[in-house]
Structure 1
Amino acid sequence: MNATTATTRATEVVLPGVVEPDGLHVRVRDLPAPARGQVVLRMDATGVSFAEQQMRLGKYYDQPPFPFVPGYDLVGTVVATGPGVDRDLRGHRFAAVTKVGAWASHLVVEAADLVPVPDGVESAAAEAVAVNGVTAWQMLHRTARVERGGTIVVLGANGGVGSTLVQLARHAGIKVIGTASPRHHDAVRELGAAPVDYRDPDMYARIRELAPEGVDAVFDHVGGPGLHESWRLVRRGGALVNYGTAATKDEPGSGMLPVLELFGQLMVWNLLPNGKRAGFYNFWAGKRFRTATFRARLAEDLTQVLRLVEAGVLTPQIAARIPLPDAASALALAESRTVLGKVVIVPEP
């Protein structure tokens, strides 16, 4: 296995500090040749997740110090390989979850983190279900373990994770109630969920009308005071799965305090003798101490999701495709809370 020694010119979008979206700036630099076990990916598609929105405010747990290049995941083509990496990987497309660094025309990643993308799946479509698809799949099948014939509630059914979760649940024979703004109700209904207006002050009462005996799981990315109502919706034997604190995104102060308060509340609920479960979904659980297991599980689950996309069972919801130099516009659009699906960033024309 021969290594590639040439350097690569990369265009990167940098988050310099706590700024508005238009405070992002673009730089060009030479990437070093990939080290042992690494490859250089040419970005074919990346995107905007809720994590980048939190990072912009300095409120994402364990984010690197400013300045840094954001970008949680991507689909790219291998253009260079380091020592110990099969050169035959070059020219092939892979998905990778990076946490940061993907808002770039080229970047260095560990070869062990690559997941093959089927030839029949477009890069933007694969990107839209990379971290979102793994999150939805694991929450549904590994965390909540909802069985066929069950009923779930998906808060934010129009979002990147939410729209994927709705489709995976329907494919598994599960009834879905999804919250969204009225402008997205037709789309949510088409995905297979019964829509409920998330701005309705009686939203939880509307959900109870649709599921008077309670539900088998609630997937809540909002947190905040509404989490108690989500817990009340869950019937005996069911689960509340929280995977974010969107309700506190714009509040001043540390992003850790709401998370710690949330953890404490979920732990207390788990001690109650009512047969219900509550937990916080952590995408990176096990990464630090069981890296090989984490990578194998991620690859297995993402491969399952990509197969469903290839088979036409799962339709990735792409809100917009915006060129890399306009990443500020992509971030602003994602933060507008007006989109259906995921905002995808593509290479400069």
Structure 2
Amino acid sequence: MGTAELVEVVLPGTVEPDGLELRYGSIPVPSAGQVVIAMEATGVSFAEQQMRRGRYYDQPPFPFVPGYDLVGTVLTAGEGVEPGLVGKRVAALTKTGGWASHVALDAADVVAVPDGVGAAEAETAVVNGVTAWQMLHRKARVRAGQTILVHGANGGVGTLLVQLARSAGVRVIGTASARHHDALRQQGVTPVDYRTEDIPARVRELVPGGVDAVFDHVGGRSVTDSWRLLAPGGTLVSYGSAATRDDSGSKQLPVLKILGRVWLWNSLPNGRRAYFFNVWAGRAFGKDRFRARLRADLTQVFAALQRGEVTAQVAARLPLARVADALRLAESGTVTGKVVLTP
């Protein structure tokens, strides 16, 4: 890749991973208030797995450049931007556009990456870290001594949920396939095999009084099971519908069904709470407040990485040109942590 060339990955429509296209062009020039970032690491998240199937509930029309988040170095800054930002390593949540060698963003949307935290390591903690932090501390408000259930405890968000919860003194039960159980036990997690065990029965056996919080990205029937496993005063945080990834039909319907259940459950007078978590919630009502909260929470996650309370789980690093391999690997369900793309 020449230094003076932009390379980006384009999702042209509902395609298999091999259908992704590479597009070449000129490096963008920052407008007033913008920076151009030379990408060092961007991630393959569950959102892109849904987007390539046309199943992500608010994805843009095809064709577009995917990429939910990125880490890189500020290359150039537009008018009105603090010139000291140039040369600094930063992270950003983008939703789309991150799978590119160079990305222009509003300077207000970037968050400094602390010294000593590598680009790939930081990348594992951007969307996944903010999601895990906000669900644990802003929604479930977990406290030391509580017990939680984390579905997909070996996944991108799951690995961070587990580690942040353990560092807060919380007992964790985590679902994963058997190959991941030893790694979970080493982190102090009680593993449950979602393939061979009856999850609700096993969790009730472990915690007869119910758990204080459940974090559920599975959707479908799992959400109802999760709600029933809550102790009095417990919190369910639903944050996806992985079970419907390969379904056809409306991409909004699985989320609308969860939202309907959440509304219904919250109307019941039993002291339990349910949330459907969306990391972008609130942006429409106040961009400045959204940015301040994102910066505060991501800074906390990076500090936990820096202190070693959280270990970055980089499943694999592949160049942008091998994006099809990266997507296949992420979709295989065989890896722990995050598949990272580099320029």
> Paired residues, what number?
341
Alignment partners' CA distance in 1, 2:290 and 2:154: 28
Structure 1 residue runs of 4 or more that deviate by more than 3 Å after TM superposition: none
Q: Which blocks of at least 5 consecutive residues in structure 2 are unaligned?
A: none
Query: Does the alignment pair 1:41 with 2:12?
Result: no
Q: What's the counterpart of residue 316 of structure 2?
A: 320
Amino acid at match of 1:239: T
Query: Does the alignment pair 1:105 with 2:68?
Result: no
1:208 to 204, 216, 220: 204
TM-score with structure 2 setting the length: 0.98
Amino acid at match of 2:184: V
Q: Which blocks of at least 5 consecutive residues in structure 1 are unaligned?
A: 1-6
Q: What's the counterpart of residue 288 of structure 1?
A: 284
Alignment partners' CA distance in 1, 2:196 and 2:262: 25
Q: Bigger shift: 176-185 or 60-69? A: 60-69
2:150 to 154, 162, 179: 154
Query: Does the alignment pair 1:51 with 2:26?
Result: no
2:307 to 311, 321, 325: 311
1:145 to 141, 165, 172: 141
Amino acid at match of 2:284: R
Alignment partners' CA distance in 2, 1:152 and 1:62: 29
Query: Does the alignment pair 1:177 with 2:173?
Result: yes
Query: Does the alignment pair 1:81 with 2:56?
Result: no
Q: What's the counterpart of residue 329 of structure 2?
A: 333
Alignment partners' CA distance in 1, 2:322 and 2:187: 30
Residue 84 of structure 2 aligns to a residue in which SS? helix
Matches within 5 A, 1:161-240: 161-240=157-236
Deviations 1:235-285 (A, max 9, x none): 110101000001111000121011111110111111112111111011001
Deviations 1:164-183 (A, max 9, x none): 00000000000000000000
Alignment partners' CA distance in 2, 1:133 and 1:267: 26
C-alpha displacement at 1:190, in angstroms? Answer: 1.7
C-alpha displacement at 1:289, in angstroms? Answer: 1.8
Residue 207 of structure 1 aligns to a residue in which SS? helix
Query: Does the alignment pair 1:345 with 2:310?
Result: no
Alignment partners' CA distance in 2, 1:213 and 1:338: 33
**Is residue 28–residue 36 contact of structure 2 (8 Å, CA) maintained in 1?**
no
**Is residue 8–residue 33 contact of structure 1 (8 Å, CA) maintained in 2?**
no
Residue 12 of structure 2 aligns to a residue in which SS? coil
Q: What's the counterpart of residue 5 of structure 2?
A: 9
Alignment partners' CA distance in 2, 1:242 and 1:100: 22
Amino acid at match of 1:74: L
Amino acid at match of 2:262: L
Q: What's the counterpart of residue 71 of structure 1?
A: 67
C-alpha displacement at 1:191, in angstroms? Answer: 2.2
CA RMSD, aligned part only? 1.1
**Is residue 44–residue 75 contact of structure 1 (8 Å, CA) maintained in 2?**
yes
Residue 275 of structure 2 aligns to a residue in which SS? strand
Deviations 1:48-68 (A, max 9, x none): 011111111111122111111
Alignment partners' CA distance in 2, 1:328 and 1:191: 32
Deviations 1:29-50 (A, max 9, x none): 1133110110110001001011
Q: Bigger shift: 302-311 or 53-62? A: 53-62
1:125 to 121, 127, 130: 121
Q: Bigger shift: 95-104 or 197-206? A: 197-206
Change (3 A) 1:46 1:282: same
Alignment partners' CA distance in 2, 1:8 and 1:68: 22
**Is residue 41–residue 79 contact of structure 1 (8 Å, CA) maintained in 2?**
yes
